[in-house]
């Protein structure tokens, strides 16, 4: 009897166990994906360019004569003023040239006095036929030659004086001067010698040189035409290599006449106030300007975009959490936002993370950022 009861209990437990094992597992939770709403707003569209700073004036200091550099009369890297004496070249050889030219001039002038006296003596004699017409002509010609010799000697003296003046080299402009390219005792000027001794730069304002591509040029040119203005003045920002922003805004002051055939770009130069003279030539500079404001633009975060072979998609999420992959046409960008020209409407919801694992038709748990 006990055996029958135990067998019945065993069968009952086995039946219960079988029922428990056949029960279905609970469904897996939906992936939680961060989403964002598509917005419509007025967006400032900016353009950025990379360039280098230069002086608003970069004047080279050159030697015009060959000689030994004898003196450097300034502190390198400091301010100099227009007309300030910077260098001296050994003047002795040029002083000797001036002296020689003076002697040649004196000789020519003496010869002119002599020919003038001869002509004065012959003229009365020729008037009474005491001398031949030929003698008179010779005397007149001799005076003309003497006058020419005096003019040549005077010109040579002036040239010698000019060369002597070149032995003292002054600053062509006021500004900051660099490090000399030659040292005292070196021979400068002439073939194979140092000719450019230094450069003086005007630092306030400072200029930035950069290039604009052909497409960018056409973009700005058409904006100017559409606005009815021959030239538009854009307010420029400058960002430096350390990430800082120059406190002063600038504007474009020079645009080259045409496109460079080698680079395919147009050279542009902008001017920025630099009252503290912190900025010097040769620094990296990134220039940014707001080209236009796009009114009522559809914008999405750039992180929501997926690109495949030049085509851009986003993942649209409906109210039930169902995902739809959709192709869009993009326009310009503004910071972290991307303007969408077509394919989206304001108020729609899009995924902004996990794009690689999303597929059309899958369900997610939207998480608002």
Burial of 70 (0-12, 13-18, 19+ CB in 10 A): middle
Task: Determine the Cα–Cα distance for residues 140 and 123; give it in Å rounded to an integer.
Answer: 9
Q: What's the pLDDT score for residue 23?
A: 59
The verdict on domain 32-45+295-368 having CATH code 3.90.660.20 is: no
What per-residue confidence (pLDDT) applies to 230? 56
Q: Could you tell me the residue ranges of all domains in the chain?
A: 32-45+295-368, 47-55+202-293, 64-89+168-194, 92-165
Contacts of 301 (CB under 8 A, 6+ apart): 36, 336, 337, 338, 352
Q: Domain 92-165's class?
A: mainly alpha
Whether 222 has a pLDDT exceeding 90, the answer reads no
pLDDT over threshold 80, residue 228: no
What CATH class is the domain 64-89+168-194? mainly beta
The pTM score is 0.73
CA distances from 226 to 221, 249, 294, 333, 361 (A): 9, 25, 14, 21, 45
Model confidence pLDDT, tens digit, residues 344-356: 999 999 999 999 9
Task: Average the pLDDT over 261-281 and give the result.
Answer: 94
Distance from C-alpha of 47 to C-alpha of 269, rounded to nearest angstrom: 15
Asked if pLDDT for residue 99 goes beyond 90, the answer is yes
C-alpha to C-alpha distance for 251 and 282, rounded to whole angstroms:
19
Residue-wise pLDDT tens digits, 203-213: 999 999 999 99
Helical residues (DSSP H) of 237-301, grouped into ranges:
none
| Mean pLDDT on 274-289 | 95
Helix, strand or coil, per DSSP, at residue 16: helix
Residue-wise pLDDT tens digits, 40-53: 999 888 889 999 99
DSSP string, 245-258: B-SS-BEEEEE-SS
Residue with tokens 């004036």, as numbered in its chain: 57
SS3 content of the chain, % helix, strand, coil (to 5): 30, 40, 30
Looking at residue 9, its pLDDT comes to 45
**For residue range 61-83, what is the model confidence (pLDDT) as tens digits?**
999 999 999 999 999 999 999 99
Tens-place pLDDT, residues 2-36: 444 444 544 454 444 444 555 566 777 888 999 99
**Confidence class for position 231, pLDDT limits 50, 70, 90:** low
- Distance, in Å, from the CA atom of 295 to the CA atom of 289, rounded to the nearest integer, reads 17
Within the chain, strands assigned E span 32-37, 39-62, 67-72, 79-80, 85-89, 168-170, 175-177, 187-188, 196-213, 236-239, 251-255, 265-272, 284-301, 306-308, 311-317, 323-334, 337-342, 349-351, 365-368
- Tell me the CA end-to-end span of the chain in Å, nearest whole number: 71
SS3 199: strand
User: Domain 47-55+202-293 classified CATH 2.60.120.200?
Assistant: no
| Banded pLDDT at 233 (limits 50, 70, 90) | confident
Averaged over 163-188, what is the pLDDT? 96
């Amino acid at each position: 009897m006990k055996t029958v009861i135990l067998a019945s209990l065993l069968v009952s437990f086995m039946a219960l166990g079988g029922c428990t094992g056949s029960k279905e597992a609970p469904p897996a939770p939906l992936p939680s994906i961060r989403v964002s709403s598509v917005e419509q707003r007025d967006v400032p569209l900016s353009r950025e360019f990379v360039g280098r700073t230069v002086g608003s004036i970069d004047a080279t200091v050159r030697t015009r004569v060959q000689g030994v550099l004898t003196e450097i009369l300034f502190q390198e890297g400091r301010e100099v003023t227009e007309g300030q004496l910077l260098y001296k070249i050994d003047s002795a050889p040029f002083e000797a040239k001036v002296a020689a030219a003076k002697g040649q001039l004196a000789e020519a002038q003496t010869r002119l006095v002599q020919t003038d006296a001869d002509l004065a003596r012959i003229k009365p004699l020729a008037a009474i036929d005491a001398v031949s017409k030929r003698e008179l002509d010779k005397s007149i010609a001799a005076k003309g030659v003497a006058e020419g010799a005096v003019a040549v000697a005077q010109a040579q003296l002036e040239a010698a004086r000019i060369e002597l003046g070149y032995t003292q080299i002054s600053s062509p402009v006021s500004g900051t001067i660099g490090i000399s390219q030659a040292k005292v005792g070196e021979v400068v000027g002439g073939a194979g010698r140092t000719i450019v001794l230094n450069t003086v730069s005007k630092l306030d304002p400072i200029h930035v040189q950069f290039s604009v591509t052909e497409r960018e040029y056409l973009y700005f040119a058409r904006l100017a035409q559409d606005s009815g203005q021959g030239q538009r003045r854009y307010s420029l920002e400058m960002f430096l290599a350390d990430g800082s922003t120059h406190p002063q805004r600038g504007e474009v002051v020079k645009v080259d006449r045409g496109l460079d055939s080698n680079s395919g770009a147009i050279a542009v130069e902008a001017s920025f106030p630099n009252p503290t003279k912190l900025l010097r030539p040769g620094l990296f500079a990134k220039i940014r300007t707001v080209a236009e404001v796009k009114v009522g633009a559809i914008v999405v975060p750039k992180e929501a975009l997926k690109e495949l072979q030049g085509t851009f998609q986003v993942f649209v999420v409906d109210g039930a959490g169902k995902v739809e992959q959709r192709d869009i046409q993009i326009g310009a960008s503004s910071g972290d936002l991307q303007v969408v020209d077509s394919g989206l409407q304001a108020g729609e919801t899009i995924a902004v993370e996990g794009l690689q694992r999303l597929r059309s038709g899958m369900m997610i748990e939207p998480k608002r950022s």
